[in-house]
Amino acid sequence: MKHLPIYFHVARRRCLVVGGGEVAARKIELLIRREARVTVVAPEVCASIAARRNENKLQHEARTFLDGDLVDADLVFAATDDRALNRHVAELAQARRLPVNVADDPELCTFIMPSIIERDPVQVAVSTGGASPVLARLLRARLESFIPAAYGRLAALMAAFRERVRKRLPDMTRRRRFWEDVLHGPIAEMLFAGREQAALQALEQVIADSSMHPPMHGEVYLVGGGPGDPDLLTFRALRLMQQADVVIYDRLVAPEIVALVRRDAERIYVGKERDQHTVPQPEINALLVQLAKEGKRVLRLKGGDPFIFGRGGEEIETLSGEGVPFQVVPGITAAAGCASYAGIPLTHRDYAQSCVFVTGHLKNDRMDLNWPALVQPQQTLAVYMGVHGLDALCRELVTHGMRADMPVALVERGTLPRQRVLIGTLESLPALAKKSDVQPPSMVIIGEVVKLHEKLKWFSG
Ligand code: SAH
């Protein structure tokens, strides 16, 4: 290793950029965002630099570089496409012991530019010491996805209270514990969920309180785990999955997803086979309340989206009645996941202007749906839990006026390995499904858009 990562205070310092192309423009943007006083020396500049000049964000000397340009500089960037000129600038800068960066020429640099993850005021810098900028960018992309956008706001909140906490807790070890508790507890969580004011008030309260103990009360995260492919989780879902103390999940959540929950979290399976709820809904609701009241961070993990045929609403109604804090994280619902992975757009300018999500669940062997509303032209039907009652579903739609040769797709294990897509019509699909021994979970998609599958299919499972 030859480089030391340090953060240079550029605000109000003079930064000289020699060159006016896109490479220079990228550096200039970074500098302007950090309030540097930028001078650009270049006979011509690209459009984005010109735009910044017109906003008075930088000073432009429209000419070639002169040795005297270095006189007032604190930091120098050479980013022209003339290697000899870049070298000349670098040598002059080095003779004056000025830090200098030369684009694409690590040999001439006294400092190099990292890839940066910005969460103002938090910044993470990644560097491969010039070995592979592509690798640095890849690493940066990975880190981007792991660092919540709200970390910046969190750091700002902590900065605002830092002095007061230091006065209240002169002992460094206690102070560190205090901030760790804040970071791991509900105050940080409020901020992540966008409840900035509540976080601020809670922190005020803790500091006003003589014990200085941040609350560690339990909370329920009602999280949509998506249709199966773990890559379809949201960043927030993954983060909460990795900090939960206990997870409550049912059969619909793919094992691939459950595997991503924090390893030492307690796992509670509440089943839910069709017509045979392993744990009845009221008991699940009560369990959530009980665990949260024990002070645990409870992850209620649902397949797809918790608010679409997920009974998520009922679960949080109980929580709200009991005063247990909760947050809801949407997930990709099965209709969206299956449609995308089967190459069937749910809407299409030519074929469907609306899409209806409907449950095909049988009650006492009957499917009680608003049939006339479903049998509408230019409309796609996405039917959840429709496999068991597929016969009745197709028959009723035809009885109520839908064409018997309306295309229908059945997507089994959508988005997962071994996804299967069966294509038929209202008339032919029930028999085809039986013959093919279709298993849950499966989604039925009905409408003209199904015709596009043949052309748009891309995922082979
Ligand atoms: N809340 C869930 C739906 C729960 S209802 C969501 O938003 O997706 C359960 C039904 O969803 C299943 O009967 C099936 O019709 C559908 N489903 C869920 N995951 C699926 C998958 N991976 N492939 C196909 N259908 C799926």
How far apart are the C-alpha atoms of 86 and 102, rounded to whole Å? 7
Most ligand 1 atoms within 8 A of CB, residue of 222, 256, 309, 361 to mutate: 309
Tokens 């684009």 — which residue? 103
**Residue of the nearest CA to atom 25 in ligand 1?**
442
Cβ contacts of 406 within 8 Å, gap of 6 or more: 397, 425, 426, 446, 447, 448
Dig out the tokens for 303 from the structure: 């397949």
Question: Which H or E run includes 429?
Answer: helix 429-435
**Residue of the nearest CA to atom 11 in ligand 1?**
384
Window from 36-40, 238-242, 247-251, 273-277 with minimum mean pLDDT: 273-277
pLDDT tens digits, residue range 225-250?
Answer: 999 999 999 999 998 998 899 999 98
Judged against a pLDDT cut of 60, whether residue 275 lies above it is answered with no
Supply the pLDDT for residue 263.
87
- Chain-centre distance of CA 170, in angstroms? 38
pLDDT band at 31 (very low <50, low <70, confident <90, very high): very high
User: Is 457 known to be catalytic?
Assistant: no
**Residue 328, ligand 1, Cβ within 6 A:** no
Could you tell me if 102 and 74 are in contact, meaning their C-beta atoms sit under 8 angstroms apart? no
Q: Structure pTM?
A: 0.78
Question: Angle at which helices 151-168 and 172-184 pack, to 10 degrees?
Answer: 150
Q: How many helices (H) and strands (E) does the chain have?
A: 17, 17
- DSSP strand pairing (58-61 vs 75-78): unpaired
Ligand 1: nearest atom to the Cα of 444: 15
Q: What percentage of the chain exceeds 70 in pLDDT?
A: 98
How far apart are the C-alpha atoms of 106 and 103, rounded to whole Å? 8
Could you tell me if 355 and 379 are in contact, meaning their C-beta atoms sit under 8 angstroms apart? yes
Supply the pLDDT for residue 14.
98
Window from 77-91, 358-372, 383-397 with minimum mean pLDDT: 358-372
Supply the pLDDT for residue 125.
94
pLDDT tens digits, residue range 183-207?
Answer: 888 899 889 888 999 999 999 998 8
Dig out the tokens for 383 from the structure: 């039917």
State the chain's mean pLDDT as an integer: 93
CATH architecture of 219-332: 3-Layer(aba) Sandwich (3.40)
**Residue 218, ligand 1, Cβ within 6 A:** no
Q: How far apart are the first and last CA of the chain?
A: 44
How far apart are the C-alpha atoms of 106 and 126, rounded to whole Å? 16
DSSP code string of 23-90: HHHHHHHHHHHTT-EEEEE-SS--HHHHHHHHTTSEEEE-S---GGGGTT-SEEEE--S-HHHHHHHH
Judged against a pLDDT cut of 90, whether residue 7 lies above it is answered with yes
Most ligand 1 atoms within 8 A of CB, residue of 442, 444, 445 to mutate: 442
Single out the residue of 15, 30, 53 nearest to residue 115, CA to CA: 30
Supply the pLDDT for residue 272.
61
Query: What's the whole-number mean pLDDT along residues 127-135?
Result: 87
Could you tell me if 230 and 307 are in contact, meaning their C-beta atoms sit under 8 angstroms apart? no
For residue 330, whether the previous peptide bond is cis, meaning omega lies within 30 degrees of 0, is: no
How far apart are the C-alpha atoms of 115 and 255, rounded to whole Å? 35
Which residue(s) pair with 297 in the sheet?
A: 219
How far apart are the C-alpha atoms of 313 and 332, rounded to whole Å? 17
Query: What's the whole-number mean pLDDT along residues 423-442?
Result: 96
Half-sphere exposure of 340 (CA within 13 A, CB side): 12
Report helix, strand or coil for 185: coil
How far apart are the C-alpha atoms of 222 and 302, rounded to whole Å? 7
How far apart are the C-alpha atoms of 446 and 426, rounded to whole Å? 8
Supply the pLDDT for residue 19.
97
Judged against a pLDDT cut of 70, whether residue 274 lies above it is answered with no
- In CATH, which superfamily holds the domain spanning 14-113? NAD(P)-binding Rossmann-like Domain (3.40.50.720)
Supply the pLDDT for residue 213.
77
Judged against a pLDDT cut of 70, whether residue 34 lies above it is answered with yes
**Residue of the nearest CA to atom 2 in ligand 1?**
304
Query: What are the C-alpha distances in Å from 265 to residues 112, 147, 237, 240?
Result: 42, 21, 15, 12
- In CATH, which superfamily holds the domain spanning 339-456? Tetrapyrrole methylase, C-terminal domain (3.30.950.10)
